[in-house]
Structure 1
Amino acid sequence: MTLFSIRKRATSPSLAVMTGGTGGIGCEIAALLLEQGWDVILLTRQPAKAEEQISRKNGRFEAVFCDLTKPADLQAVSDEILRKKKPVELLIHCAGKIQPEPTRDITPRSLDEQMAINLTSPILMTSQLLPAISPSGHIMFVNSIAGVMPLQGSAVYSATKFGLRGFARSLALEFRPGTLRVSSIFLAAVDTQMLQQETQDGGSVLNFVSQPLSARDVARMIVRTSRKSGREIFLPRIDGVFGHACLMMPWLLRLSTPVLEKIGKIGLQRFLKHRATLGSAAQKE
């Protein structure tokens, strides 16, 4: 009997497998799923941190050590999930890595890490777990606006996100409509530790052209989308429209960049001021 022939009982909690659960967005997603009664398996290099951050709520939660840069780890974890003989209803690729640097400064290490975490591991894990994914399941890729709009100073990151979009689109074509669903979520900047670190490392000020998104709001949107048909979603939508326009008219991005950078610098100062205010309020408490 294959996993595809197994039918979930009405009283059996649905199983979700996710990477990146110790980050801002992933932590919120896991909490929402558990609150709704899902069983969640989280792949992370910091199981202890995940256990501390994420409340079990109504579902069962398991943090499993996995280094996404090591194919052997991916295979071992995938094999263990297959042995559970429980269909995976939701597979969310939420882990991400960005290292801002001009192309002349790219190192083999930063290239390998970004490629592995952003592109190679989602491809390998999807391939390995396909036999366990329910025919009505949903595979979700948390992507970035950098997957449709080139990001100056983060060429490797942008290349991995473009590649991830191509993989997701190709994957979706392998299944008949109404069966396994594939979605990609293209996000602008999200107010997380990753954004703060990127900013400290010299990331693009274009992240702050608009107010960074709330991790909680993004998580809610992703969980809502998991119940719908496969699709591509851009947040904010205008960024998706502008990104596609730049792909069709490459001159548009170069022409508009100076103006966007000025707006972004103002937005960055507003963001830093807001973070400082929150920090002061936390210290007083």
Structure 2
Amino acid sequence: MDKTLDKTAEEAAKQEKISLLTGAAGGIGREIARLLDREGYRQILVDLNEEKLNSVASELSIAPHCIVSNITDVRNVASIREQVQSRFGRLDVLVNNAGVIMTTPFDEAHYDEIDREYSVNYRAVLHFMREFIPVMKRQRSGSIVTISSLGGILPLKEAPGYCGSKFGVRGFMLAQNIALRRHGITVSTIYPTAIDTPMLEHEALHGGSLLNFVSDPLKPVQVAQAVVRAIKKRKMEIAVPTSEGYLCKFLGFFPGVIPAVLPFVERIADRNRLNYIKRKGLA
């Protein structure tokens, strides 16, 4: 009887859907965690901010496993993988959501700022996938979703380091999408326009890209919905909104056109930026 119960518990554990989310304490991370909770996932939430991470965890119906960690250190990423394997034995979904952007002009930035932007946006994605791809290969299944940016398709002159990291993410994710299909692993990338988060508020006041304000910023939940859709529909790429994704990809074919049209677009965007600051009460 005891053996039967043990076997039933073991089978139930195998049926449980397990996901890991980085940057879980931010605005986008919170919404992704909420939606994955509704989808029935048992979540591993990773962030550096313990207080905010616990706040997100308290909102979920399925108790998550929270890990406070600096993901720019590859040793910490390896430790996270060890914890996941020890506690759950598998991982069904990996969401690389953590991201940062610096507003200091590139040629004035301290090397620590440059390294942090690159490490969070690009290297951490590689490190998490290096650790968890073997896990998913053994399962013959899995889904990996990375939050990039339309700045990974269209250059933003105020954020060359950020764009470099996001362009790199796109190439890496597209290559892995092809490589991992035969192992039953789906690799997806989300390319949102500007998102109404504290990071955008900081950019509005401190010299971020004016192109962030060409249209109204997204709500974090819209990005979270794209993540769930990528998992369910096994999408390679999703731009949010779709129309801006098509426009950015079109301009990518004709980079010489961008400097010619940019001044006109930026005049419109700067008016929108000032309206955004006023609407948010930031001034």
1:36-75 aligned within 5 A = 36-75=39-78
Residue 107 of structure 1 is matched in structure 2 by 110
Structure 1 unaligned residues grouped into runs of 5+: 1-6, 280-285
Q: Give 3-state SS (helix, strand or coil) of 1:141's partner.
A: strand
Query: 1:11 deviation in Å?
Result: 8.1
C-alpha contact (below 8 Å) 1:90/1:137 kept by paired residues = yes
CA contact (8 A) 2:29 2:97 kept: yes
Contact 2:140 2:183 in 1 (8 A): no
Structure 2: distance between partners of 1:8 and 1:273 = 55
The question of whether the paired residues in 1 share the 8 Å contact of 2:204 and 2:277 is answered with: no
Unaligned runs of at least 5 residues, structure 2:
1-9
1:232-272: CA deviations, max 9, x gaps?
A: 11112232222222222112111110111011112112222
Find out whether 1:124 has 2:127 as its counterpart. Answer: yes
Distance in 1, Cα, partners of 2:37 & 2:89: 17
> After the TM superposition, which of the residue ranges 44-53 and 109-118 deviates more from structure 2?
44-53
Deviations 1:165-217 (CA, angstroms, capped at 9, x unpaired): 01101111212368210100001100011111222321011101010001122
88 and 8 in structure 1: CA distance in 2 versus 1, 3 angstrom threshold: farther
Contact 1:34 1:60 in 2 (8 A): no
Q: C-alpha offsets along residues 33-67 of structure 1, whole Å, 9 cap, x if unaligned?
A: 12332111011111232112343533221210110
Give 1:191's aligned amino acid: D
**What letter is aligned with 2:50?**
P
Instruction: Report the equivalent of 2:7.
Output: none
The match for 1:79 is: 82
Equivalent residue, structure 1, for 2:5: none
How many aligned positions are there? 271
Separation (CA, whole Å) in 2 of partners of 1:57 and 1:251: 48
Q: 1:57/1:65 Cα in 2 relative to 1: closer, same or farther (>3 Å)?
A: closer
Distance 1:29 1:210 in 2: 23
The 2-side partners of 1:200 and 1:63 are apart by 33
**Secondary structure of the residue that 1:175 maps to in structure 2?**
helix
Query: Runs in 1 of length 4+ with deviation above 4 angstroms?
Result: 7-11
Corresponding position of 2:232 = 227
1:15 and 1:230 map into 2 onto residues whose CA distance is 20
CA contact (8 A) 1:36 1:58 kept: no
- Partner residue of 1:88? 91
Q: Alpha-carbon deviation of 1:164? A: 0.4
CA contact (8 A) 1:18 1:43 kept: yes
Q: Secondary structure at the match of 1:146?
A: helix
For residues 77-120 of structure 1, the C-alpha deviation after alignment (integer angstroms, 9 at most, x for no partner) is 12221223532111000000100233321321111101110000
In structure 2, the partner of 1:16 is 19
Q: Secondary structure at the match of 2:181?
A: coil
Opposite residue 90 of structure 1, the aligned amino acid is V
Q: Which structure has greater helix proportion?
A: 2
Which residue number corresponds to residue 176 of structure 1?
181
Question: For residues 69 and 50 of structure 2, what CA distance do their matches in structure 1 show?
Answer: 9
Give yes or no for contact 2:152–2:170 (8 Å, CA) kept in 1.
yes
Kindly provide the CA deviation profile for residues 260-285 of structure 1, in whole angstroms up to 9, marking residues without a partner as x.
10111121122223212xx9xxxxxx
Q: Does residue 268 of structure 1 match 2:268?
A: no
Residues in 2 aligned to 1:230 and 1:248: alpha-carbon distance in whole angstroms: 23
Q: Contact (CA 8 Å) 1:38, 1:58: kept in 2 or not?
A: no
**What TM-score, normalized to structure 1?**
0.89
- 1:130–1:189: structure 2 CA closer, same or farther, 3 Å change rule? same
Q: Is the 8 A contact 2:32 2:227 kept in 1?
A: yes
SS of 2:141 mapped into structure 1: strand
Distance 2:11 2:35 in 1: 21
| Alpha-carbon contact 2:93-2:142 (below 8 Å) kept | yes
Q: Distance in 2 between matches of 1:88 and 1:186?
A: 24
CA contact (8 A) 1:88 1:137 kept: yes
State the superposition RMSD in angstroms.
2.0
Give the alignment's TM-score, normalised by structure 2: 0.89
> Which one of 11, 32, 35 corresponds to residue 35 of structure 2?
32
Calculate percent identity across the aligned residue pairs: 27
2:219 equivalent among 214, 223, 229 = 214
